[in-house]
Amino acid sequence: MSAELPKSRAPSIRDVARLAGVSHQTVSRVLNNHPSIRESTKARVQQVMEELQYRPNRAARALSRGTSRTIGVLSASSSQYGPASSIAAIQDAARDAGYYVNTANITSADPDSIEAALDHLMLQSVEGIVVIAPQARVFEVLESLSISVPYVALQSTGGMTDHGLSVDQIAGARLATRHLIDLGHRDIYHLAGPQDWIEAEARMRGFLDEMSAMDVPTTAPILGDWTADFGYYAGRELLRVRDFTAIFCSNDQMALGLMHAIRDAGLDIPGDISVVGYDDIPESAHFWPPLTTVRQDFAELGRRCMALLLDDIAAGPAHDRSPIIPALIVRASTGPPAF
C-alpha cells in the first residue's frame, strides 16, 4: 500500500491512523512507546509514518502532558568561542533528551536586563534554565533573584555549589604553565583576558599559582580583550624589550595575533619564543606552527549540564557536580628555550 495525501497540507495523526488501519489512539500509543502495542501493529504504523514523512507535533504532545519540553538558556556572551560551544553542546544534549532549547541573550549585566531575559524565558514555559554568563556580576544578580524553575549555572570557579557545573579553568591554566616550565622556560609572560570575565580571572590565577608552586619569578599579567588584534598589539610592544622566552595566552585568538607579531619581527616559533593558547578552537591546529593549547570537552559539558538539570526537574538524585578538567594539547608552537 502506498500512502499518499494531497500536497497542500502536512499529514496528521488521523491520516496515519486511516492508512494504517488503526485508531488515532493507537498511533498515539506507538508515538509514546506504550507497552501494550503489538510489534506488528507498531511496525505497520511506523511504516506509514515513514511513507507520509509524518512528524508529530511535539508542542501539542507536550501540552497534553502539561509540560513544555523546553529548556531555557540564559547567555551573556554567545559570540565568544567558549560560550557559543557550550550552547551548541547543550542544544545537542537537550535534543537527545527530547527537549527544545530557547535562548535569551543578556544585553548587559545590569539587573533589569537579566530580569527581562528571565521573564522572556519564563513566558515560554521553560521547565529549567541553563545560565552561561562569563561575568561574575551576572551570578551576583542571579543569586539575588527568586527563580521559580530549576537551573544550572556554567561557571569556572564552582562558587554556586547548589546550582553550578564548572570547568576547572585554574587546572587548565596550570597545565599550560607547567608545560612551559617543564620545557625549561623561566621567563614566561601571561596574556590574560578581560578583568571582569570569570574565565580570565581563573586562568590568570592558575598561571600565577603554578609559577609560584614551581618557584619561578613572574611579572604582572597583561590584561587583554580576547581578540587577535590585541594579541598582535601586545606582541609588538613586548618585543621591544623581549625579556621572555614563552607566553601563555588566555585564549587562542590572542595567541594568533601574538604569533603574527612574532613572525613580523623575524623571529621563530618555537625556536625563539614558545606560545600556548587556550580553548583549542578548530583553527588552532592549522595556525603556523600549529598551536599548543588547552582543550575543554564541551560535549561532556553539555551532557553533564542536561543530566543535572533533568535531575532537578524530576527531583531525582543528583548527578556528579565535580569540575570538568581540561586537557593540554601539545603541538609545534612550544619547545625548549634557546639559551
Determine, yes or no, domain membership for 320: no
Determine, yes or no, domain membership for 330: no
CB 326 within 8 A of CB 298: no
- Is residue 58 over pLDDT 70? no
CB 272 within 8 A of CB 338: yes
Element of type H or E holding 228: helix 228-238
CA dist 125 and 300 (Å) reads 26
- Is residue 17 over pLDDT 60? yes
Asked, as a colleague might, if the bond just before 289 is cis with ω within 30 of 0, I would say: yes
Residue 266 identity (one-letter amino acid): G
* CA-wise closest residue to 71 among 24, 161, 132, 116: 132
Looking from the CA of 216 toward its CB, the CA atoms found within 13 Å total 21
Lowest mean pLDDT among 18-27, 310-319, 327-336: 310-319
Q: Are residues 26 and 135 in the same domain?
A: no
Q: Are residues 305 and 158 in the same domain?
A: yes
Q: Are residues 265 and 219 in the same domain?
A: yes
Determine, yes or no, domain membership for 329: no
CB 204 within 8 A of CB 218: no
pLDDT-based confidence at 142, cuts 50/70/90?
Answer: confident
- Is residue 235 over pLDDT 60? yes
Put residue 280 in one of left, alpha, beta given phi > 0 → left and psi -120 to 50 → alpha.
Answer: left
Q: Are residues 270 and 195 in the same domain?
A: yes
Determine, yes or no, domain membership for 319: no
pLDDT recorded at residue 190? 98
**Domain containing residue 153: CATH number:** 3.40.50.2300
Q: Show the domain range for 154.
A: 67-167+299-314
Rounded average pLDDT over 273-290: 97
CB 177 within 8 A of CB 207: yes
pLDDT recorded at residue 303? 84
